[in-house]
Amino acid sequence: MALSDLLPMLVIALYFLGTVLFVVGSALRQELLKKIALGFATLGFALHSVDLAQLLTVADPALALTTGRFLFCLLGWGILVFFLLLWWRLKLKFLAVVAMPLALMFYVASNATVGVNTKLPPMLTGLFFFLHVGTLFCSMALLAMAFGAGLAFMHLEKRIKTKAGLKTFQKDMPSLDTFDRVNHFVSLCGFPLYTLGLASGYVWAWLSARRVFSLDPKEVVALVVLILYANLFHQRLALGRRGRKPAVMVIVVFLLSVVSMIGINFLVPTTFHGFKP
């Protein structure tokens, strides 16, 4: 079996084992299991990086950028990059329970979309590609972390307010303030990235088709996400809002981003951005 065939199976196996062991380790409060799980995830990430690099070493790298295989592989990789960053800076290893399953899901999707492509004008390849798609993917990877932190915040807050008490594994979770800091970090960094990615897309649309905005379903949803994201950014930085409302908002923004990325691309044949065999 060739290395190119074996590598995806190894990455999927490592992400899957990491996810299962981390969940079991959290439920049983076994730090050793969680450390082993994070080790599997780190090794999977390293092999994932090798796989991503291999996709760009084909005869025509510009063509590789248009494949569903590369795009989903890049998104799953980006989610783990930001998880590892938050783990290192804020000691939020608990977010592995969100990062590993999402990375696994997108990596499996990347292998399921071999032969599926999206049409990109030549001018969007290279540096412009990463200015548009790269910034949007970074923003979405950040949102994935805030999504997990938002769900945890809402769950813990509900148990505290109802005086239901914390279950055994919940006692090892970070504080509500820590999860709120993740939301703040994502608002501070993710919104400018999303805005830059969307603005560069409008520039690309003008250069390639002499239009800035159309009623393309993906563009409409992206604009809705931008408005909600801007509202979250304003609430966090200008008004100093904290707690439940920003947590709910970031969950909604992330889910809409997933709808835009996956649902519209595959289920709406009229979109300019759709994947085609």
Per-residue pLDDT of the chain (277 residues; tens, 9 = 90+): 555 678 889 999 999 999 999 888 887 778 898 899 999 999 999 999 998 888 777 656 566 666 767 888 888 898 899 888 888 877 778 888 888 998 998 888 888 776 666 655 555 556 667 777 788 888 888 888 888 888 888 877 777 766 555 555 555 566 778 888 888 888 888 889 998 888 887 777 676 666 666 777 777 888 888 898 898 888 888 777 787 888 889 899 988 888 877 766 666 655 555 555 5
Alpha-carbon gap, residue 109 to 68, rounded angstroms? 8
**Which DSSP state fits 52?**
H
Cα maximum dimension of the chain: 61
Nearest to 76 by CA among 102, 95, 40: 102
Alpha-carbon gap, residue 276 to 219, rounded angstroms? 18
Residue 137 is predicted with a pLDDT of: 84
Stated as kind and residue range, the H or E segment containing 201 is: helix 176-209
Give the tokens for residue 234: 């304003």
Residue 73 is predicted with a pLDDT of: 85
Alpha-carbon gap, residue 102 to 33, rounded angstroms? 20
Give the tokens for residue 28: 């049983």
Residue 109 is predicted with a pLDDT of: 83
Residue 61 is predicted with a pLDDT of: 59
pTM (2 d.p.): 0.81
Phi, psi (rounded to 5 degrees) for 116: -100, 135
Residue 17 is predicted with a pLDDT of: 93
